[in-house]
Copies of this chain bind each other. A is one copy, B any other.
């Protein structure tokens, strides 16, 4: 599962019926690449999240008929690592040394 940041939503009136009226969140990775994801956990703009891809993305919506290939799996509170010295965490990720 990849780590992404919620930066907004896309407005998309003309869309596939399999996406219903679901909010489509705009996410960004650390390289500035944008992707679109469905969001069953109501993440807020600014949240760091991890995303589930592939067929698991449909099941994660609680309804495999939702035609998504990327779903937010959860909001990251912080992370814990014992190797902060050896491996540089990216400054913009919410890190906390264990």
* Assembled-state Cα–Cα distance A18/B93 (Å): 25
Tell whether, in the assembled complex, residue B34 and residue A16 are in contact, meaning their CB atoms are under 8 Å apart: no
Which residue of the partner chain B has the closest CB to A70?
B1
Q: A67: which B residues are within 8 A, CB to CB?
A: 52, 56, 59-60, 73
Please list the residues of chain A having a beta carbon within 8 angstroms of any beta carbon in chain B.
1-3, 7-19, 24, 26, 28, 32, 34-37, 40-41, 45-46, 50, 52-60, 62, 65, 67-83, 87-88, 90, 93, 98
Q: How far is the CA of A18 from the CA of B56 in the complex (A)?
A: 10
Complex contacts, A9 vs chain B, CB 8 Å: 79-80
A-B contact sample (18 more), CB < 8 A, given A7-B87, A14-B41, A14-B77: A1-B36, A1-B37, A1-B68, A1-B70, A7-B83, A11-B76, A12-B76, A14-B74, A15-B74, A15-B75, A16-B74, A24-B74, A28-B87, A36-B50, A53-B54, A54-B54, A56-B68, A60-B67
